[in-house]
Chain A
Amino acid sequence: MTNNKTPYAIELRDISKRFGAVQANKDICLQVPAGTVHGIIGENGAGKSTLMSIIYGFYEADSGHIEVDGQIVDIRNSQDAIKAGIGMVHQHFMLVENFTVLENVMLGAEGGALLQQGMDAARAELKRLAHEYSLDIDVDAVVEELPVGLQQRVEILKALYRGARILILDEPTGVLTPQEADHLFRILRSLTEQGVTVLLITHKLREILASTTNVSVMRQGEMVAHRETANTDKEELAELMVGKKVRLKVDKDEATPAEVFLSAKHLSQLDSQGVKRLKDVSLELRAGEILGIAGVSGNGQSELLNVLSGITPLDEGEIQFAGQTITASAPKNAAELRDLKMAHVPEDRHKMGLVTGFEAYEAAVLGYHNSDAYNGKILMNRKAMLEECNSRMAAWDVRPPNPHLKTANFSGGNQQKIVIAREVEQNPDVLLIGQPTRGVDIGAIENIHEQIVKLRDSGKAILLVSVELDEIMALSDRILVMFDGAVVGELDAKDADERTLGLMMANAYNEDQKGAAQ
């Protein structure tokens, strides 16, 4: 490496980027010393992803320039970025699932018309890289058979194979268990020891503190602060992110669980390929409590929500709700369950909770569109819909409070408020709520959490699914942990800590004692 003559592996000078009327990045300056892990933190929509896309050549900046090792580089596409030694590990892996590790790594760099020669060379190079950076992996394993943590390792190897000296990781821990995440951070540390520079994009404060050397904070398209990680803390970073003091705790009293509102016994569900996605899940949901479902995403939580809310039929087991017994042979669909006062805030508001092409007042009645309140004899009562939408927007502080704005044009937090308001204002007995604050900024998170607790205190039953452990621990009164479609643990929220939950989420709690030492 020759970069010790320049202090910075990568330097950004006055990068600006505008999309239409939106200034996504404004005069961004950033200096990243070689061999460090540099965190970039900010709320969703703060401009982190845009900035990284500029560095990796997906977008071109309107003004400003990028220097790598002190040289100005002109990056117009991802090939240019790779040539400049920049590699990217995307949040959603860009791997061919039924290829082997080796085939994935050499994809796009096959070298020659015949495959064999390139394969031999790649195999040798991969071995060297794996050894040098201690990234052990079976190069002949098929990618889809690897756990996500290892798939991510393949992505990192792919970037290194292409000669990356600067590695960008975009929200790398979204799909990982806490243990896998810790492992990733160890890998990153050993990479930096070899002179690789890492840019880590995340909105999780814990990870920044656990893994970075320096951290930069973005807010509304601007870099608002640079800190040495050792000299800052969670509270300061959170404050910088949102620009005001926030609480990371939720104020709530002891729960007073009463009668069982919903009970599920031995639920199982198969997907279209015949794979069991839910395995013998039983749970009881009581009035006046928040039952949290923790788990790494993709371990059956979505299927559980879909089965409970009537979106997908169940294959085995039964659900008791509102005096009705629901089984495979006597199913109830989502509309029928709504009539029995079950509300559902789905995990993915874009795919499921909203119709983004609808105006807000239309999206605000989705699922309740047959209700007498919104209908005349033949035509829908547009006036009633608008009035209700207006009053809800005021009550829930939806911005802008314009019922005619297309749902797609609201920010994530405001979209979520539209969905939650719709479901909560129906005064349901049971609220199923998935990822209530995904992609929502901290100010709105607080508001949403307060509303959930308020609903609980009014004697309703709430089932909360979230992949954010902080959220599960802050809100829940009781926690179930799911792994591979089954419930693998139950905890009182008072006894829960991140480590226990993390081990349960990886289904490693029982072997925990021997692993505790590390």
Chain B
Amino acid sequence: MSQAKVPVWVNVGLIPFINIVLAFLVSGLVFVAIGQNPIEAAGYLVYGAFGYDEGVGYTLYYATNFIFTGLAVSIAFKAGLFNIGGEGQAYIGGLGVGLVCLSLDHSMPFIVIMPLAIIAAALFGAAWAYVPAYLQAKRGSHIVITTIMFNFIASSLMVYLMVNWLKEKSGMAPNSRTFEENAWMPYLHNMLSPLGIDIGDSPLNGAFILALICCVLVWALIWHTRWGYQLRTLGTNPTAAKYAGIDTAKVTIWVMLISGGLAGFVGINEIMGVNHSLLLNFTAGYGFAGIAVSLMGRNHPIGIVLAAVLFGALYQGGAELAFEIPTITPEVVVVIQGLVILFSGALEHMFKGRIEGFFIRRAAAQEK
């Protein structure tokens, strides 16, 4: 009965908040140790992330990637599957986007290229998730192992393709040519300026809207369709799923396809939205960070948006911080991110029991 007595806001609000505050306190100690004023550093970080329009734009641009990968991890997790392969799926999703843009940007208008690129991102990401999903569902190979392996394969495959096939003929760097502008995802500041709204120039683009749409769709899918019902049953009680006659292999494969497709959308944001060319290593760890985002967001779309914004803020504010205080290297910023992940992910149960106990006792006392 105990769970019923703990108010919801404690679990979704208070406990994550306490964990993050602790992460920042420990980060403060790190700053003191390298001889910096932690208050000043925190000021730069917060200002950099939220203090001015362009900063907010950058924060949300990073958050877009985290929303995609966070959703990808969480939907698989809802079915009891740990998809570690977001990185590779995002990478291959980007390849799909790049191929569509490179082959159509001379002949087709944006209105044709955009939906095709979105479909390609989803299909390529899903295809990359399909093999591990099939092996898990039909052969029992553990999905954690196979998805990790597929990250490495994706990485090598991209290097091969870029160097041997997709590299711009004249250039030295393993980049494709830049797409024509009709294959660019429009920037949000360009979309909003005709309406008289000025949000400052930033890489924030249409992919952000796609990310928010995905949140709503994933939420409806998981909690309001029979298909989501099946995947939640499988995720919480596989034996009951069998009892209910749910085809667990089919659900496993489908959920991984969707998960891979969501991760693939990182390619829309990065390739079509910002880089406008196909290049190496554009995923930059977003796939792995998605695991932390999903954990922190309690596998719920709203939580994932909040966690994604936090991570986006850390990326953007951290870059700003490293710029303002040269002794703070980008590595220190990674330490802060690591601490946030440590406290809100790995150590999430450190205070949970005690805080919940406090509210249970209080509820019990009020009953009397």
User: Which residues of A does B touch, CB under 8 Å?
Assistant: 19-22, 309-311, 333-338, 344, 346, 351-358, 362, 365-367, 369-370, 374-375, 378-380, 382, 405-406, 408-409
Interface membership of chain B positions 220-242, coded 1 if the CB is closer than 8 angstroms to chain A and 0 otherwise: 10001110011011001101101
Question: How far is B243's CA from A333's CA once the two chains are assembled, in angstroms?
Answer: 9
Residues of B within 8 A of A310 (CB): 245
Question: How far is B229's CA from A338's CA once the two chains are assembled, in angstroms?
Answer: 18
Known A-B contacts A22-B1, A355-B232, A366-B233; the reply to A380 vs B245 at CB < 8 A is no
Question: How far is B242's CA from A337's CA once the two chains are assembled, in angstroms?
Answer: 13
Closest to A402 in B: B4
Q: For the complex, is B10 an interface residue (Cβ under 8 Å from A)?
A: no
Residues of A within 8 A of B245 (CB): 310, 333-338, 367
Residues of A within 8 A of B107 (CB): none
Which of A309, A366, A405 contacts B240, CB < 8 Å? A366
Known A-B contacts A311-B242, A334-B242; the reply to A19 vs B2 at CB < 8 A is yes
Question: How far is B229's CA from A59's CA once the two chains are assembled, in angstroms?
Answer: 38
Question: How far is B226's CA from A370's CA once the two chains are assembled, in angstroms?
Answer: 6
Question: How far is B142's CA from A201's CA once the two chains are assembled, in angstroms?
Answer: 43
CB distance from A40 to the nearest CB of B (A): 24
Residues of A within 8 A of B138 (CB): none
The reply to whether B364 and A367 contact each other, CB–CB distance below 8 Å, is: no
Residues of B within 8 A of A408 (CB): 3
Interface membership of chain B positions 40-82, coded 1 if the CB is closer than 8 angstroms to chain A and 0 otherwise: 0000000000000000000000000000000000000000000
The reply to whether B243 and A367 contact each other, CB–CB distance below 8 Å, is: yes
The reply to whether A352 and B243 contact each other, CB–CB distance below 8 Å, is: yes
Q: For the complex, is B360 an interface residue (Cβ under 8 Å from A)?
A: yes
CB distance from A450 to the nearest CB of B (A): 25
Interface membership of chain B positions 237-259, coded 1 if the CB is closer than 8 angstroms to chain A and 0 otherwise: 10110111111000000000000
The reply to whether B225 and A334 contact each other, CB–CB distance below 8 Å, is: no
Kindly list 19 other residue pairs between chains A and B, CB separation below 8 angstroms, not including A310-B245, A346-B243: A20-B1, A20-B361, A21-B1, A22-B1, A333-B245, A336-B245, A351-B237, A351-B240, A352-B240, A354-B237, A355-B232, A355-B233, A366-B243, A367-B243, A367-B245, A369-B244, A370-B226, A380-B229, A409-B4
User: Which residues of B does A touch, CB under 8 Å?
Assistant: 1-5, 220, 224-226, 229-230, 232-233, 236-237, 239-240, 242-247, 360-361, 363-364, 367
Q: List 29 A-B contacts (CB under 8 A).
A: A20-B361, A21-B1, A21-B2, A21-B5, A310-B245, A311-B242, A333-B245, A334-B243, A336-B245, A351-B237, A352-B237, A352-B239, A352-B240, A352-B242, A352-B243, A354-B237, A355-B232, A355-B240, A356-B236, A357-B237, A366-B233, A366-B240, A378-B225, A379-B220, A380-B224, A380-B229, A408-B3, A409-B1, A409-B4
A-B pairs with the 5 shortest C-beta distances? A335-B245, A334-B245, A367-B244, A20-B2, A21-B364
Residues of A within 8 A of B226 (CB): 369-370, 374-375, 380
Residues of A within 8 A of B230 (CB): 369
Residues of B within 8 A of A334 (CB): 242-245
Closest to A339 in B: B245
CB distance from A420 to the nearest CB of B (A): 14
CB distance from A514 to the nearest CB of B (A): 44
The reply to whether B367 and A21 contact each other, CB–CB distance below 8 Å, is: yes
The reply to whether B243 and A353 contact each other, CB–CB distance below 8 Å, is: yes
Known A-B contacts A379-B220, A380-B226; the reply to A21 vs B360 at CB < 8 A is yes
The reply to whether B363 and A356 contact each other, CB–CB distance below 8 Å, is: no
Residues of A within 8 A of B232 (CB): 355, 358
Number of A-B contacts (CB under 8 A): 89
CB distance from B125 to the nearest CB of A (A): 23
Closest to A346 in B: B243
Question: How far is B246's CA from A21's CA once the two chains are assembled, in angstroms?
Answer: 37
The reply to whether A20 and B5 contact each other, CB–CB distance below 8 Å, is: yes
Residues of B within 8 A of A20 (CB): 1-2, 5, 360-361, 364
Which of A375, A379, A406 contacts B4, CB < 8 Å? A406
Closest to B244 in A: A367
CB distance from A20 to the nearest CB of B (A): 4
Closest to B229 in A: A369
Question: How far is B229's CA from A354's CA once the two chains are assembled, in angstroms?
Answer: 13
Known A-B contacts A334-B244, A367-B243, A380-B225; the reply to A356 vs B237 at CB < 8 A is yes
Question: How far is B232's CA from A334's CA once the two chains are assembled, in angstroms?
Answer: 18
Question: How far is B222's CA from A379's CA once the two chains are assembled, in angstroms?
Answer: 10
Question: How far is B240's CA from A362's CA once the two chains are assembled, in angstroms?
Answer: 13
The reply to whether A344 and B243 contact each other, CB–CB distance below 8 Å, is: yes
CB distance from A217 to the nearest CB of B (A): 24
Question: How far is B243's CA from A4's CA once the two chains are assembled, in angstroms?
Answer: 57
Question: How far is B228's CA from A358's CA once the two chains are assembled, in angstroms?
Answer: 13
Residues of A within 8 A of B1 (CB): 20-22, 409
Closest to B356 in A: A20
The reply to whether B237 and A362 contact each other, CB–CB distance below 8 Å, is: no
Question: How far is B1's CA from A409's CA once the two chains are assembled, in angstroms?
Answer: 5
Question: How far is B246's CA from A335's CA once the two chains are assembled, in angstroms?
Answer: 7
Question: How far is B241's CA from A346's CA once the two chains are assembled, in angstroms?
Answer: 13
Closest to B367 in A: A21
Closest to A18 in B: B364
Which of B225, B236, B360 contacts A379, CB < 8 Å? B225
The reply to whether A354 and B240 contact each other, CB–CB distance below 8 Å, is: yes
CB distance from A116 to the nearest CB of B (A): 41
Residues of B within 8 A of A351 (CB): 237, 239-240
Question: How far is B228's CA from A382's CA once the two chains are assembled, in angstroms?
Answer: 13
Question: How far is B225's CA from A370's CA once the two chains are assembled, in angstroms?
Answer: 10
Closest to B233 in A: A355
CB distance from A435 to the nearest CB of B (A): 14
Residues of A within 8 A of B240 (CB): 351-355, 366
Question: How far is B364's CA from A337's CA once the two chains are assembled, in angstroms?
Answer: 46
Question: How far is B364's CA from A29's CA once the two chains are assembled, in angstroms?
Answer: 25
Closest to B236 in A: A357
Closest to A365 in B: B229
Question: How far is B353's CA from A20's CA once the two chains are assembled, in angstroms?
Answer: 12
The reply to whether B244 and A409 contact each other, CB–CB distance below 8 Å, is: no
Question: How far is B37's CA from A264's CA once the two chains are assembled, in angstroms?
Answer: 79
Residues of B within 8 A of A353 (CB): 240, 243
Known A-B contacts A21-B363, A379-B225; the reply to A335 vs B4 at CB < 8 A is no
Closest to A379 in B: B224
Question: How far is B245's CA from A380's CA once the two chains are assembled, in angstroms?
Answer: 18
The reply to whether B3 and A409 contact each other, CB–CB distance below 8 Å, is: yes
Residues of A within 8 A of B243 (CB): 309, 311, 334, 344, 346, 352-353, 366-367
Residues of B within 8 A of A369 (CB): 226, 229-230, 244
Closest to A410 in B: B1
CB distance from B358 to the nearest CB of A (A): 11
CB distance from B80 to the nearest CB of A (A): 12
CB distance from A409 to the nearest CB of B (A): 5
Closest to A368 in B: B244
Closest to B364 in A: A21
Question: How far is B236's CA from A86's CA once the two chains are assembled, in angstroms?
Answer: 39
Residues of A within 8 A of B220 (CB): 379
Closest to B361 in A: A20
Question: How far is B194's CA from A48's CA once the two chains are assembled, in angstroms?
Answer: 73
Question: How far is B6's CA from A111's CA once the two chains are assembled, in angstroms?
Answer: 48
The reply to whether A406 and B3 contact each other, CB–CB distance below 8 Å, is: yes
Question: How far is B367's CA from A380's CA once the two chains are assembled, in angstroms?
Answer: 37
Residues of B within 8 A of A358 (CB): 232-233, 236
Question: How far is B224's CA from A252's CA once the two chains are assembled, in angstroms?
Answer: 44
The reply to whether A355 and B4 contact each other, CB–CB distance below 8 Å, is: no
Residues of B within 8 A of A355 (CB): 232-233, 236-237, 240
Question: How far is B361's CA from A277's CA once the two chains are assembled, in angstroms?
Answer: 49
- Pick from A20, A335, A367, A374 the residue with the most CB of B within 10 Å: A20
